[in-house]
């Protein structure tokens, strides 16, 4: 991969400063959630706001903009067109959203994260509500500035998933919601386990950390480019993809599958960033193209690979070596433990059958908030009512209800639908790949990773998400594959 256009080469030379500032912001974000003392938030918020303003100033530099416009009229390679497309997306944002809004958004979301963390610890939404109110107000302003055709929420969706609209999301859920409800009715009378004793058993954290590292090593990763830490909410961040990618894991005191699958999930994200062609590093296309495609990689590894019978058979000796209590459980016991199905309160702990109903709830509430059809102060009660309607369970407090997710504190409104989109794409990948079960059974993860790298990872953000998915699987978003996968597995 190369950049033959002299104009693109000049653009990329100028872009290095912007990349460096984004690199610093990523490192600051990772530190904020992993290492930073709570009272450091004041200085961190100020620094984040100033960097955000500086990036906007550099993006809007007259000479830089002229170069982008010049390149847009030239004959370019696919990769070079990707560079221009990604920069034009950024330019649209920075041209239309005033610097004071960019700076205030960066400042408010840094403060909101600390407020959310405190509110969750106290199970008190009122602590977080003023910050969420401001986040929603700013999101509305940003949506209005960016413009939209049908709904202000579409402008926010597009920030996270290029080209995604409410109409796309509605089409996906119009297939998934009734299909999942039918499947849940069948599962409830089939004898499939709703509980497992291992969910209540404690484990030794250090032993679990060692098991996770050995399992990830079995899949294969470049240790000198990858690290694992601990945070309240697991996440992945490419500090300098594909050379420095980091994940975090959370370790509750019992139920070892939670840290195991959060690690495999985040590792799926990391593999994507680590698989981007090195020639694209430090450029606008040198990262994953979108959150939905990114989520397809994590959910592919977490669910379709990680919860399969073949994977259980492969890793059960590792688990038994590190967790002595597993000696009395067969591989079949572990498989059903990994695949318990029941309506639950916490999204990150939800099984793969009910998970997308959690996303549907958040999607609908976000659209209502952005449209001004529901007040922020009314969100907890609406959340509880929708949770009971969709899943038949009701939160006992705000911590296991409206405060369970970190996303709104980051200002990530329009993000949640990308989780379901990721599940949809992951299922399409499974059926397009064809050889998955045999490869997992034999431990041939190199073959799986090579397929993913050649069709998805290496291209970074070269192609728009819908085009990349079509190139990889033969069609764009088709939720019928996800229903097919779930129905075949849980029938």
Which residues are annotated as part of the binding site for Zn(2+)?
265, 269, 295
**Sheet order of strands, 236-240 included:** 226-230, 244-249, 236-240
Active-site residue, 266 included: yes
List the catalytic residue out of 80, 258, 266, 273. Answer: 266
- The sign of the CA dihedral 75, 79, 84, 85 is positive
Q: What CA–CA distances, in Å, run from 155 to 145, 148, 193, 314? A: 9, 6, 42, 44
Active site residues: 266
């Amino acid at each position: 991969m190369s950049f033959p256009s002299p104009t693109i080469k000049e653009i990329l030379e100028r872009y290095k400063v912007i990349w460096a500032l984004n690199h610093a912001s990523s490192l600051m974000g990772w530190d904020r959630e992993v290492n930073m003392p709570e009272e450091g938030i004041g200085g961190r918020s100020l620094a984040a706001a100033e960097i955000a303003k500086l990036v906007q100033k550099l993006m809007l530099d007259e000479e830089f903009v002229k170069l982008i416009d010049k390149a847009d009229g030239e004959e370019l390679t696919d990769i070079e067109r990707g560079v221009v497309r990604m920069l034009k997306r950024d330019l649209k944002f920075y041209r239309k959203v005033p610097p004071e809004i960019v700076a205030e958004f960066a400042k408010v979301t840094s403060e909101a994260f600390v407020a959310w963390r405190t509110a969750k610890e106290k199970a008190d939404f009122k602590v977080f509500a003023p910050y969420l109110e401001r986040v929603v107000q700013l999101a509305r302003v940003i949506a209005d500035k960016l413009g939209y055709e049908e709904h202000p929420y579409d402008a926010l969706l597009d920030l996270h998933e290029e080209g995604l609209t409410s109409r796309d999301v509605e089409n996906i859920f119009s297939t998934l919601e009734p299909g999942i409800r039918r499947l849940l009715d069948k599962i409830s009378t089939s004898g499939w386990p709703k509980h497992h004793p291992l969910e209540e058993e404690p484990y030794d954290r250090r032993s679990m950390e060692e098991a996770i590292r050995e399992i990830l090593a079995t899949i294969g990763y470049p240790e000198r480019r990858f690290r694992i830490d601990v945070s309240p909410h697991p996440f992945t961040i490419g500090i300098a993809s594909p050379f420095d990618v980091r994940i975090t894991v959370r370790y509750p005191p019992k139920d070892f599958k939670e840290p195991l699958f959060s690690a495999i999930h985040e590792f799926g994200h990391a593999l994507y960033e680590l698989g981007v062609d090195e020639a694209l590093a430090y450029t606008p296309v040198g990262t994953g193209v979108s959150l939905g495609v990114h989520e397809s990689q994590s959910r592919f590894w977490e669910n379709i690979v990680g919860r399969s019978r073949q994977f259980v058979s492969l890793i059960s000796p590792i688990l038994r070596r590190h967790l002595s209590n597993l000696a009395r459980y067969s591989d079949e016991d572990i498989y059903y433990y990994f695949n318990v199905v029941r309506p639950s309160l916490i999204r990150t702990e939800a099984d793969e059958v009910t998970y997308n109903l959690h996303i549907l709830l958040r999607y609908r509430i976000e659209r209502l908030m952005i449209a001004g059809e529901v007040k922020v102060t009314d969100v907890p009660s609406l959340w509880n009512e929708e949770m009971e309607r969709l899943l038949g369970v009701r939160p006992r407090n705000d911590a296991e209800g409206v405060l369970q997710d970190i996303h709104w504190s980051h200002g990530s409104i329009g993000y949640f639908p990308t989780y379901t989109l990721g599940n949809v794409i992951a299922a399409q990948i499974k059926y397009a790949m064809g050889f998955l079960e045999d490869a997992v059974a034999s431990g041939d993860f190199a073959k799986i990773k090579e397929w993913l790298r050649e069709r998805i990872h290496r291209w970074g953000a070269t192609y728009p998400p819908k085009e990349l998915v079509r190139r990889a699987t033969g069609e764009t978003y088709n939720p019928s594959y996800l229903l097919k996968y779930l129905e075949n597995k849980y029938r």
